[in-house]
Amino acid sequence: MADAGEWWKNAVIYGVDVARFCDSNGDGIGDFPGLTERLDHLVRLGVTCIWLLPFHPSTNRDNGYDITDYLQVDPRYGSFDDFLFFLTEAGARGIRIILDLVAQHTSDRHPWFLSARHDARSPFRDYYVWTDHPPRPAPGRGPMFPGQEDTTWTHDPVAQQYYYHRFFRFQPSLNHENPAVWMGGKDKDHRILRDIFRHVTRRIPDALIMSEVNEDEGSLPDFFDGGQMNAMMNFSLNNHLLHALAVGRAQPVLDGLARLPPPPDNGVWANFLRNLDEATLERLDPDAFRATVDILAPDQDMRIFDRGFRRRIAPMLGGDGPRLRMALSLLFAMPGAPLICYGDEIGMGEDLDQPGRHAVRSPMQWTRGRNGGFSAAAKARLIQPVVTGDFGPDKVNAQDQWDDPDSLLNHVARLSAIRLDHPGIGRRECRTIGNAPDGVIALRYAAADHDLVTLHNLSPKPVRLDLDLGAACRGESTALLGDPLQTQDGHLRVTLPGHDFRWSRWPR
């Protein structure tokens, strides 16, 4: 059994783009005072951990990931004291904070790079990777953004050399083989990740290190071994979840679960339906990829980088209805910790008029009316326009949904409450219940004093179930979500309507 201090195994994680969450001073840009004002929304939602996207000074050419100063807060988001006050207020409410560490590259306007490009003898020259003759990229190591970047080497007219960048050309990659940048040497054993993990956990033993590792499942144990991170964003399962939701079949999820390596004893999978970048589908085979994209992103403008799409989960699944609610329920039923991104709890839509990944980063919609309650600024001053149309704030906003006990927002709050009351989902092995029809995912978690069973019908059609739950599940259950389930001698016979879901608990 996991140590009680490993809080992340039962966390509800919420991703926030500070600039687009709540504007407190009317300048059209979200800030830390605004985020602090909205903490009670997150408490009510059941959030126990906030993942902050980068909030450092940057040139704002890649959603804040082109950082110019790692030690400061972008003044648009408030002062350093505002950030500290936010930390204090979140902590007082029992909410922990994850900071997004961008360690692969800096901005090309970072002082290190400016010094490096102007002086070949600068101590910062070797902080980056330079060459006179760019080599061909190794297989799988080409540009991260095909269609926007066609090379990983860019010639700098001042330095008179080419510099390496895996991401955008304005994000020169750091040279991690330089001892001044890190400990030096080839990083076959992920020494950098291990050093970060040791450095942080020696100072804060219950700190969470969550990483994005979008690699083939066979490579994941090389990273997820207990000494580099204690949570890993589950890109692999996400791919199979999206495929299953697209085609209305359970098997892709079951295959995805079977292919996952077990997390280390101190680790947990961070599961999500959407993050705040593009939805990548690189773990799917070509046929599954095409089927998923064709169904969930039928228009070319919805797609990006030849590997996924730039859509929010609500419009992908037809708006607030049984299919979306089932999908969110399924996310919370997956073994691991659920991760949702701001706005998905109310079913926000995307804005495809915005470039690239900005499509899924519209301002949060708090109320009806002007700017959705995000900001008192004139529309022209907003960091990004508020979504309009069927997913605009007059139809989709937090205030109206809190007032409606049957809203999507209250549905997600109930899911969070169930998860926080059932830590076994994050701490124990998930078992699939056999003989379920292909449209249905039937999962079981066994605790010392109860058995938890979740049923999700991914199909739009009714499905008849005939399942043997065993002697531990006798009689009528306690319904946590949906109608109660009842067995006869441990045998369950029930018909699930299309996109229906049930959470039930049998005492031992």
The one-letter amino acid at 128: Y
1: pLDDT strictly greater than 50? no
Burial class (CB in 10 A: 0-12, 13-18, 19+), 207: middle
> Residues 348-371: what's their mean pLDDT?
96
pLDDT in tens, 172-231: 999 988 888 875 755 667 888 998 999 999 999 999 999 999 999 999 999 999 999 999
* CA angle, residues 212, 217, 220, in degrees to nearest 5: 50
Do the domain assignments include residue 215?
yes
Shared domain check, 201 and 65: yes
> Residues 347-358: what's their mean pLDDT?
95
Number of domains in the chain: 3
Question: Scanning the structure block, which residue is given the tokens 């031992």?
Answer: 508
Lowest model confidence (mean pLDDT) among 23-32, 429-438, 460-469: 429-438
Shared domain check, 191 and 150: no
Residue 326 sits in a domain of what CATH number? Answer: 3.20.20.80
Shared domain check, 71 and 128: no
Burial class (CB in 10 A: 0-12, 13-18, 19+), 170: middle
Shared domain check, 315 and 243: yes
Shared domain check, 202 and 158: no
Shared domain check, 395 and 285: yes
Where does a domain end: 164, 193, 209?
Answer: 164
Shared domain check, 269 and 203: yes
> Residues 107-119: what's their mean pLDDT?
97
Rounded to the nearest integer, the mean pLDDT of the chain is 94
pLDDT in tens, 34-64: 999 999 999 999 999 999 999 999 999 999 9
Shared domain check, 279 and 133: no
Q: Label residue 140 by pLDDT band (50, 70, 90).
A: confident
- Of 208, 347, 330, the C-alpha closest to 271 is 330
Where does a domain end: 384, 404, 421?
Answer: 421
CA distances from 224 to 97, 193, 271, 379, 444 (A): 21, 11, 15, 45, 25
pLDDT in tens, 225-235: 999 999 999 99
Would strands 268-271 and 337-341 be described as parallel, antiparallel, or unpaired? parallel
Would strands 450-457 and 501-507 be described as parallel, antiparallel, or unpaired? antiparallel
Shared domain check, 280 and 392: yes
Task: Count the Cβ atoms, other than its own, within 10 Å of residue 502.
Answer: 22
pLDDT at 490: 85
- The domain containing residue 435 runs over which residues? 430-507
> Residues 114-123: what's their mean pLDDT?
96
Do the domain assignments include residue 95?
yes
pLDDT in tens, 57-85: 999 999 999 999 999 999 999 999 999 99
Q: Label residue 448 by pLDDT band (50, 70, 90).
A: confident
% the chain with pLDDT above 90? 85
pLDDT at 186: 56
Shared domain check, 138 and 41: no
Do the domain assignments include residue 176?
no
pLDDT at 2: 38
